[in-house]
A and B are shown apart, each in its own frame.
With several copies, the nearest count.
Chain A
Amino acid sequence: MDFNDTPQEADYRAKAHAFLSAHVRPKGSEKETLQKRLSEAVYLAAAKAYQKSKAENGFAGITWPKDQGGQGLSPIYSVIFGQEESKFDAPAGPFTIGLGMCVPTVIAFASSTQKERFVGPALRGDEIWCQLFSEPSAGSDVAGLKTRAVRDGDDWVINGQKVWTSGAHYSDWGIVLVRTNPDKAKHKGLSMFFVDMKSQGIEVRPIHQMSGGSNFNEVYFTDVRVSNDQLLGGEGNGWSVALVTLMNERLAVGGSPGPDYKEIFDWAHHVPGLDGSTLAEDPSFRQKLADWAVRAEGYKLAKFRTMTALSKGETPGPESSIGKIITANQLQDMTNTAIESMDHFGIITEEGHAPRDGVFQQSFMWAAGLRIAGGTDEILKNIIAERILGLPGDVRVDKDVAFKDLPTGH
Chain B
Amino acid sequence: MNFDFSDDQKYLKGQAHKFLSEKASMSSTRAVLENDNMPFDTALWASIAEMGWLGAAIPEAYGGLGLGELELCVLAEEMGRSLAPVPWSSTVYLLAEALKIAGRESQKQEILPKLAQGQIIGCVAASEGPGEPRLETLKSFFDGSTVSGTKIPVTDGDCATHALVLAKHGSASSLVLVDMAHTGITKTPLKTFDPTRSHASLKFDQTPAQLIGEAGDGLGLLSRLYDRAAVLFAFEQIGGTAACLDMATAFAKTRFAFSRPIGSFQGIKHKLADIYVALEIARSNAYYGAWALSCDAPELPLAAALARVGACEAYYLASKENIQTHGGMGFTWDVDCHLFYRRAKLLAIQLGAPALWKEKIVRRLEMRNAA
Contact = CB atoms under 8 A, between A and B. Distances in A.
Asked if the two chains touch in their complex, CB atoms less than 8 Å apart, one says yes
B306 A377 contact: no
Nearest to A381: B273
Given A1-B5, A343-B353, A391 B253 contact: yes
Contact of B349 (A208, A308, A339, A406): A339
Interface size class of A (residues with CB under 8 A): 35 or more
Interface in B354-369: 354-359, 361-362, 365, 369
A408 B2 CA distance: 46
B1 interface: yes
Interface string B293-324: 01000000000011001100100100010011
Given A299-B281, A385-B269, A397-B258, A1 B291 contact: yes
B190 A348 contact: yes
Given A134-B328, A341-B355, A389 B193 contact: no
A343 B356 contact: yes
Given A307-B3, A346-B349, A384-B273, A294 B306 contact: yes
B341 A289 contact: no
A393 B258 CA distance: 12
B352 A343 contact: yes
Interface string A233-256: 000000000000000000000000
A385 B273 contact: yes
A389 B131 CA distance: 39
Nearest to A337: B355
A75 B77 CA distance: 31
A297 B285 contact: yes
B106 interface: no
B320 A368 contact: yes
Contacts of B265: 378, 394
Contacts of A272: 130-132, 134, 137
A113 interface: no
Nearest to B254: A409
Contacts of A396: 258
B313 to A, nearest CB: 7
A288 B263 CA distance: 32
Interface in B324-339: 324, 327-335, 337-338
B8 interface: no
B294 A381 contact: no
A91 interface: no
Contact of B284 (A299, A341, A345): A299
A356 B261 CA distance: 42
A287 B190 CA distance: 32
Contacts of B330: 210, 368, 372
B281 A294 contact: yes
Contacts of B324: 368, 371-372, 376-377
A86 to B, nearest CB: 16
Given A4-B1, A308-B1, A376-B327, A291 B358 contact: yes
Interface string A3-17: 111000100000000
Given A141-B257, A144-B257, A384-B273, A5 B1 contact: yes
A4 B295 CA distance: 14
A9 B2 CA distance: 12
A290 B266 contact: no
A80 B228 CA distance: 32
A208 B290 CA distance: 40
A351 B345 CA distance: 19
A294 B329 CA distance: 32
Contact of B2 (A1, A134, A342): A1
A374 to B, nearest CB: 10
A112 B266 CA distance: 45
Contacts of A284: 355
Most chain A C-beta atoms within 10 Å of own C-beta, residue among B258, B281, B335, B337:
B258
A136 B335 CA distance: 13
A345 B131 contact: yes
A376 B346 CA distance: 26
B83 to A, nearest CB: 14
B327 A407 contact: no
Nearest to A362: B193
Contacts of A322: 276-277, 280-281
Contact of A4 (B2, B256, B355): B2
A293 interface: yes
Nearest to B5: A1
A319 B333 contact: no
A271 B256 contact: no
Nearest to B309: A294
20 contacts: A144-B256, A271-B131, A287-B358, A290-B305, A290-B361, A291-B309, A301-B285, A302-B284, A308-B4, A311-B2, A336-B345, A342-B349, A345-B131, A347-B193, A349-B191, A349-B193, A364-B193, A381-B274, A386-B269, A392-B264
Interface of B: 1-5, 70, 126-127, 129-132, 134, 136-137, 152-153, 155, 190-194, 199, 201, 245, 249, 252-261, 263-270, 272-274, 276-277, 280-285, 287-288, 290-291, 294, 305-306, 309-310, 313, 316, 320, 323-324, 327-335, 337-338, 341, 345-346, 348-359, 361-362, 365, 369
Q: Which 4 A-B pairs have the closest CB atoms?
A: A290-B358, A298-B281, A210-B338, A272-B131
